[in-house]
Structure formats: structure tokens, C-alpha cells
Amino acid sequence: MVMSSRILVVLALLLLGNAAGPAAAQDGDIYQALRGRMVHVQLKARGISDPKVLAAMNRVPRQRFVPERLAPLAYEDHPLPIGSGQTISQPYIVALMTEWAQLKPGDKVLEVGTGSGYQAAVLAELTDKVWTIDIRPELVVKAADTLKTLGYSRVQVKSGDGYLGWPEAAPFDAILVTAAATRVPPVLEQQLREGGRLVIPLGPEGGVQTLTRFRKAQGKIQEEKTVPVSFVPLVEPEKRK
């Protein structure tokens, strides 16, 4: 079996940590090192350039948002399972979606698809007005707990159908959908403020999707840019039984 160099680095860092002293005391340093490397190799090198986004990605402890046994792999260049058949996106995609949202402090942002809560935590590093919703209550309970434990207590989390947005908190300066939709949910378009950004993976279930950024201008959303991606599906009305 050929081990990738990235996995070898992870193993070496973990072994080093164990050799150097109590695991708990070393934990922070090891993950900080892995995180710094991820920011450099996966984000900066691929064109993520907003210093605030890079700083946010360098602060949020991604290992706390994945199942404990997968923590050593938290900074690897791929998505990871988080239970209920769902996944936390690859770090690069989280950073890209965050950069595309163009958040300023005080902006209101809605995330559809809380999952582990990681993307919400990254958003919370950029603005203190974050709402996040997920259709799977068991993930919401866990994510809310993780966010609170890590001090992201201002993030509003609820379980419900994000296809319908969060009417009480609308309009939003940015909406991020972190599950693939076959089309833009009309309500989300309505809940976007003029000038607001909507970032959403669009495409057929199981096929290649296109991460797309729209901006609302004169009451209508206009496509601005795209990149091919692969997300778990958004639960949409026509897919429900």
C-alpha cells in the first residue's frame, strides 16, 4: 500500500506529539501546525487571497467538527463523513464559498446545511450575524453544541427546511447553500438583499455540480462565476416522499 506524503506528515506530527509529552497538552500545537500547512498548501497556493478568509481558516479548529476518530485527518485535502450520510466539505471549498460571500463585519449571512457547524464557525469569524439551518435535527443538536463549546455562541442554529430559508431573519447580505440543488430555491432568491451574494452548488444529483455565485441586482439574481464541485444533495420538495 502506498501512503500519501500528506498522511505521512500527519502521522509524523501525531507521533512527535505523543513522544514529546502528554497528548492533551500537545494537541493544540499539532493541529495548529496542520492547520497552518492546510492554509498554505490548499488555500493560498490555489488562489484564496482574502486575508480575512485565510485568517478565519487559520483560526477555526476543524478537528473539533469531525468525529473524534477522524480528527487526525481533519486538515486533509478532502471531505470527511460527519454521520447521517453527510459530509463536511474539503477545506478549500469552505474557503472558496466564504471568499465568494464577500462578508463585511455586520453583514447578515444564512447558511443552508449546517452539517457539522464548521462552515458556520468560519463565517462567524467574519461577521457576528450568522444563521444556519439543517433539515437533520441530530446534526443540528451536535453542531449547536460544538459551536457553543468553542465560543461561537452568537451563531443562530435551527433544524428545519432550508429550502424555505429563514424568513424571520431575512433579508441576508449573503446566503451559502452547502448541499447541491437542482435549481436555485425561489425563496432564497427572495430572502437575498439587493447587492447580496448567493453561493450554491447546482446540478444533477450524483453528477458534476457547478458551484455558482449569483448577485442580486435590480431585484433579480445574476450569475457571476462558477467552478465544478461535488456536494451531497439538498433535500428539495420534489425529492421528498
Catalytic residues: 89
User: Of 120, 127, 114, which Cα lies nearest the Cα of 86?
Assistant: 114
176: left (phi over 0), alpha (psi -120 to 50) or beta: beta
Least distance in Å: CB of 77 to ligand SAH?
A: 16
Residue nearest to ligand SAH (CB): 115
Give me the residues that bind ligand SAH (CB under 6 A), please: 82, 86-89, 112-113, 115-116, 118-119, 133-136, 139, 161-163, 178-179, 232, 234-235
Instruction: Report the C-alpha gap between 232 and 133 in whole angstroms.
Output: 16
DSSP-derived 3-state class of residue 11? helix
Least distance in Å: CB of 88 to ligand SAH?
A: 4
Least distance in Å: CB of 225 to ligand SAH?
A: 20
Least distance in Å: CB of 25 to ligand SAH?
A: 28
Is 72 or 185 the residue whose CB approaches ligand SAH more closely? 185
Is 79 or 171 the residue whose CB approaches ligand SAH more closely? 79
Is 86 or 102 the residue whose CB approaches ligand SAH more closely? 86
User: Of 113, 58, 52, which Cα lies nearest the Cα of 88?
Assistant: 113
Residues 6+ apart with CB under 8 A from 62: 35, 74, 75, 88, 91, 118
Q: At what angle do helices 51-59 and 23-38 cross, to 10 degrees?
A: 160
Instruction: Report the C-alpha gap between 176 and 156 in whole angstroms.
Output: 15
